[in-house]
Amino acid sequence: MRSIRRYLLRTLAITLVVAGGIAVTAAYLITDHELEEILDTQLSLHSRIVAGQLDPDATIDDYARLASRMGFPEYPAQLYRDGNKVPVSSSESGTKLYHEEELKLVLGFWNSDGSPRLLGGKWKDAGPFPAPFEEGFRWENYDGHRWRVFSMFDVASDTWISMGLRGSFHDEVVERITWNNLLPMLFLLPLLLWLMSRIIRRGIAPIQALSSQVQGRSANDLRKIDNPVPQELIELRQSLNDFIARLKATLERERRFTADAAHELRTPLAALRIHLDNAQAGGDQSLQKAYVGVERLQRVVEQLLILARLDQVATASRATIDLYPIIAELVAELWPLAEDRDQHLKLTGLTRLEVRADDVEVGILFRNLLDNALRYTPKGGQVEVELALWEGLPQLIVRDTGPGLPDALLEKVTERFRRASGQGTTGSGLGLSIVSELVQRQQATLTLSNREPSGLEVSVRWELPT
């Protein structure tokens, strides 16, 4: 499992870099578009101003004077007459370069037929700049450079006017703006990563503190965790406390079960040893008593094995089953035991009753109910098993004519090793505990009640199968 801190730091760093890259790219594209619009506006505005200054009756000398002002050192303007170049004398004021960026802005004039009339210095090195063919903006390649050109036709002077800006100027401005936005982000990136690391470390500190609280405890320390935690960890703390509570209850139940089982086994073992010693000394009746003790020990061990199996299996597979064949088979299996005790065992009620349960667990549940009823019913007594519907719900009822239970013990008899006192029948005190456990696993309801004049009635009621 990866570290949460490293995962967050790496993910946020990547997100920050990607978001910064997207922001810079968007800034570049937006700046490129907006700057193009601004420069286009400047080109069109300046072209209009120049067109407004043209004299419709201007002579070649007028254009010569204009050419002297448009030229730069090493880049004089070029004047044309009838398609031929005309020498131009440049004055000092006209050839002075105030800023090197001026070389990237050029002005040109063409006759109505497309022949050049006057071109700026940068538009004549590779031959006359291409003549305009329509008004508006266009990109033009000339002398290895891209030019953004605006052209318009002045009707009064019968002249095409084009003003161009070299594309490199536009690109340089966009790049400068983009770098000016990017450089602060690059300088701030290490600081932001450090701040994110500190924030993440501070944010997960409560998780580490909670982990330390649990890790530092001994195996016997099952106290609730009551240290304050952030709101996001309240459910985790509650889940841990619930788990600790369940673990504490389980351990307590196991300790009590172990102690009770040890006590329950110690008594018959001690009695068995005494009976065997007496039998060895010649007591004939001691062997019979030892045999009864072995039977009791065998039953306790069997019941303990069943409880161990139930504790290991968290949930049972439930399906819709018919109770009658399961109950009928177990009644037939225990019939000889009832005959040996002169007991009357009968199965009544419905011959088909569907419930949502596990067939194996239902068999264990009913065997314990019927075995208990047969054990505590005296000779000549009666045990009745009934399958019925109660308010539309399927239920299994086992009635006997035994001594019943004290009213105070009816709700506690399902506890492990809990037995009514003063009964002559041997038992482990685990039968009804197993029944109660299985009833809970089957999501059914267990009810115990005394009968008149004597006896016990145990009913198990299931929900309707769906």
CATH classification of the domain holding 380: 3.30.565.10
DSSP E strand boundaries for 103-204: 105-111, 116-119, 136-142, 145-154, 159-166
- If asked whether residues 171 and 60 sit together in one domain, one would say yes
- If asked whether residues 265 and 331 sit together in one domain, one would say no
- The dihedral sign for the CA sequence 107, 109, 110, 115: negative
3-class DSSP state for residue 69? helix
Rg (CA), the chain: 52
- In a domain, residue 155? The reply is yes
Predicted local distance difference test score (pLDDT) of residue 349? 92
Q: How, if at all, do strands 319-322 and 354-357 pair?
A: antiparallel
Q: Rounded to two decimals, what is the model's pTM?
A: 0.46
DSSP E strand boundaries for 229-322: 319-322
Cα separation, 115 vs 132, whole angstroms: 10
Q: What is the DSSP string of 321-382?
A: EEHHHHHHHHHHHHHHHHHHTT-EEEEEE-S--EEEE-HHHHHHHHHHHHHHHHHHSPTT-E
If phi > 0 it is left, if psi is from -120 to 50 it is alpha, else beta; for residue 38 that is alpha
CATH classification of the domain holding 289: 1.10.287.130
- If asked whether residues 11 and 148 sit together in one domain, one would say yes
- If asked whether residues 10 and 138 sit together in one domain, one would say yes
Predicted local distance difference test score (pLDDT) of residue 93? 40
Residue 442 structure tokens:
């089957």
- If asked whether residues 165 and 18 sit together in one domain, one would say yes
Q: Which residues contact 424 (CB under 8 A, 6 or more apart)?
A: none
- If asked whether residues 273 and 324 sit together in one domain, one would say no
Among the candidates 142, 175, 208, a domain finishes at: 175
- If asked whether residues 51 and 149 sit together in one domain, one would say yes
Residue 175 structure tokens:
């790049």
Question: Would you give the distance in Å from CA 8 to the centre of its chain?
Answer: 15
- In a domain, residue 211? The reply is no
Q: Phi and psi for 313 in degrees, rounded to 5?
A: -95, 115
- Cα distances (Å, whole numbers) of residue 271 to 130, 178, 277, 294, 419: 125, 97, 10, 10, 19
- In a domain, residue 50? The reply is yes
Residue 332 structure tokens:
């037939």
How many CB atoms are located within 10 Å of the residue 373 CB?
28
- If asked whether residues 403 and 452 sit together in one domain, one would say yes
Residue 441 parent element (H or E): helix 431-441
Among the candidates 107, 140, 175, a domain finishes at: 175
- If asked whether residues 34 and 167 sit together in one domain, one would say yes
**Number of alpha helices (DSSP H) and beta strands (DSSP E) in the chain:** 9, 14
Which residue segment(s) compose the domain that 244 sits in? 235-312
In this structure, which amino acid lies at residue 22? I
Query: How many structural domains is the chain composed of?
Result: 3
C-alpha closest to that of 386 among 346, 416, 413, 425: 346
- pLDDT tens, N- to C-terminus, the chain (466 residues): 567 777 787 888 888 888 888 888 888 888 888 888 998 999 999 999 988 888 888 888 888 888 888 877 778 888 888 778 887 665 544 467 777 777 888 999 999 888 999 998 788 877 889 999 899 999 999 988 899 999 999 998 899 999 999 988 888 888 888 888 888 888 888 888 888 888 888 877 777 777 777 777 777 777 788 778 777 777 888 888 888 888 887 777 677 666 656 655 665 666 667 767 777 776 666 666 666 667 656 656 665 666 566 555 555 567 888 999 999 988 888 888 888 888 999 999 999 999 888 887 888 788 888 888 888 888 889 999 999 998 889 999 999 998 888 776 767 666 655 555 445 454 455 667 777 878 888 788 888 888 888 889 989 998 876 6
Predicted local distance difference test score (pLDDT) of residue 466? 63
